[in-house]
Structure formats: C-alpha cells, structure tokens
Amino acid sequence: MKTRICGTGSLLPEQTVTNDDLSKIMDTSDEWIKTRTGIRARHLATKETLTGLAVEASKQAMDEAGILPEQIDMILAATLSADNIFPSLSCELQRELGAVNATAFDINAACSGFLFALHTADAYIKTGRYKTILVVGGEILSKMLDWNDRSTCVLFGDGAGAVIVKADEECGILGISQGSDGALGEALLCENRQINNPFASNPVELSYTKMNGQAVYKFAVRTVPKTIHEALKEAGLTVEDIQLFVLHQANIRIIESVAKRLKVPMDKFPTNLQDCGNISAGSVPILLDEINRKGMLHKGDKIVLAGFGGGLTWGAAVLSW
C-alpha cells in the first residue's frame, strides 16, 4: 500500500513586500538580498491568520482530491508559528473544515516540518488505521522575526500549503529519509517563554529567530544531497529517474549547490523563493501546489521532495505522482 498525494492547495497573504520596500526601513538593499539569496520579495501577513490561510489551502486540496470534510481521518499540521500555543493549528483546522471524524495534531520540525508530517502520514497509512489524511505546512514567521536584525528578517515569508494523501495501490511514496541532530540546534533558534511563576520569575522578554547563517548554509549543502540519495536508494531509483526536485526554498545558492552535487541540471529544480522567501514548513507544499496547478506534474512522474532546517532536521521523500 502506498501513500499518494491526490490534491494540493496553497495561499499566501495579500501583502507583497519587495527588497526595495525593506531597504526603506532598514540598512539593506535589493542587490545584497538578491545576490546572497535569490529572494526578490515575500508575502507578509498583515490581517490574515495562519488558520485562515491553512483553511483555504486545505479546501483547494480537498476539492482536487474530491474529498468531503467527514472523510478525513487525520489532520497533521507542520508549523512552528500556529496562531495559538494550543489549541493546535490542526485542531483549529478540524473545527473550521468540519472534519468531525479526524484525529488532529501538530508537528514541529521547523523547515523540515512538512516532510516529517508527510512521513508520519505515510506511516499511519501503512498501518491501515487511516486512509485519508490532510497534511498541512504553514507559517506566519514574520511575527517571530527580529525586524532589527537584517541578517535574518529579510529571508523569510508567510503562507500555507496543504495536500490530501490517500492509500493507493499504484502510485505514491516510494522511499523516504529523515533525521535530526539536536547537538547543532543553536544554529537556528527561537526560545519560548521564560519560566514565570510565583516561585521563579524571569524578566518577560520575547525571543526572536536567531541564526548562524554560515553554519546553516554548510549543513544544508552537505545534508540535503545525502538525504535525497538515501530516499532514492530506498525507492530503488537514481537521480536520472527523477523528473523534478522540489526543495525547501531557503536560498537559491543552496539549491544550486545541491543540484551541482547531485549532478542534475537546475531546470529540474522549480523555485518560488524569488517571490516568497523562505516559508519554513510552508515552502515545499506551496511550491508543490504551484507546479501542480501549472500542469508540470503528470501521472507516474517520479519527484523528490526535500527539506532542512531548525532542530537541526532534514528529510526527503521520493514519490510517483
């Protein structure tokens, strides 16, 4: 039994913020951001909620898959920036969609979150316990950025993507790989609230995303090709068998370096980071939806999805469409 993606959806916030817009409020430039990252613009939430973005993305995915809310067995949402600490984004989605028969919980594996959620869905489908799962990845990371730290805030954007996966005899996930290295966690970090109770109190200070950009860069270019090779090995395929590589959209230079290491031409790596920035757990499902809607995916095509990020974490999936 395989886990097949039967529908995709996505939504970005309305407000586009270009590099030039940022250069009016901080000491940066379109040239610096574009040459270091490939990013030209990003969408930032001004009035949207993550639940609202994810609901619309989920409805699109359900429409394409021909699924009614009551048919969803499980909702897995990958995020580190849900509207509430609890209830989770997935429980909020359950309520908004009327998915009354679903079990719902969130997964936090930062920018690898969508891959980890997809792998979790795959494991549940393989047990036979669930047959139709809504997998969502989305972030409103802009609320967790230090807008005085130009080295991180220019990199990220907001948005949500969703897929419906179903048990299928023929097509679906053929191989996966995933991993974590908590020892490197400080390279990409955002602390939660400090301990604060009548017996131990700390000054109320909100933490924002901190990153050692060069450490994350080196980790990504080393780890992503390795995890893709592992997933391909499990699938019994090689890079030559793959039509498209849908990678986490952090930085064009990272994607170019992965392409070079895999010896695969860049035209097999679709990108949207130019207009979206890094949407963490949202980036892979949003890009997947974009290429699906453009008609770039055909039944039976072999594609690779891959992500990496905070934790540190990484993961890849090989699937037949």
SS3 301: coil
> CA dist 10 to 52, 218, 222, 250, Å?
11, 30, 30, 18
| Residue 278 in the binding site for ligand COA (CB under 6 A) | yes
| Residue 283 in the binding site for ligand COA (CB under 6 A) | no
Of 130-159, binders to ligand COA (CB under 6 A) are 150-151, 154
Looking at the Cβ atoms of 17 and 111, the one nearer to ligand COA is: 111
| Residue 214 in the binding site for ligand COA (CB under 6 A) | yes
The Cα–Cα gap between 261 and 193 comes to 40
Q: Which of 36, 40, 126, 293 binds ligand COA (CB under 6 A)?
A: 36
SS3 29: coil
| Residue 35 in the binding site for ligand COA (CB under 6 A) | no
Asked if residue 293 lies in contact with residue 268, where contact means CB atoms within 8 angstroms, the answer is: no
CB of 65 to ligand COA, least distance (A): 29
Stretch that binds ligand COA, among 2-10, 28-36, 49-57, 66-74 (CB under 6 A): 28-36
CB atoms within 10 A of CB 313: 25
Contacts of residue 259, defined as CB under 8 A and 6 or more positions apart, other chains included, come to: 245, 265, 266, 268, 269
Asked if residue 5 lies in contact with residue 167, where contact means CB atoms within 8 angstroms, the answer is: no
Q: Which of 44, 53, 111, 174 binds ligand COA (CB under 6 A)?
A: 111
List residues with catalytic annotation. Answer: 111, 248, 278
Q: Which tokens sit at 296? A: 């770039």
CB of 312 to ligand COA, least distance (A): 9
Binding site for ligand COA (CB under 6 A): 28, 32-33, 36-37, 111, 150-151, 154, 211, 213-214, 216-217, 250-251, 278, 309
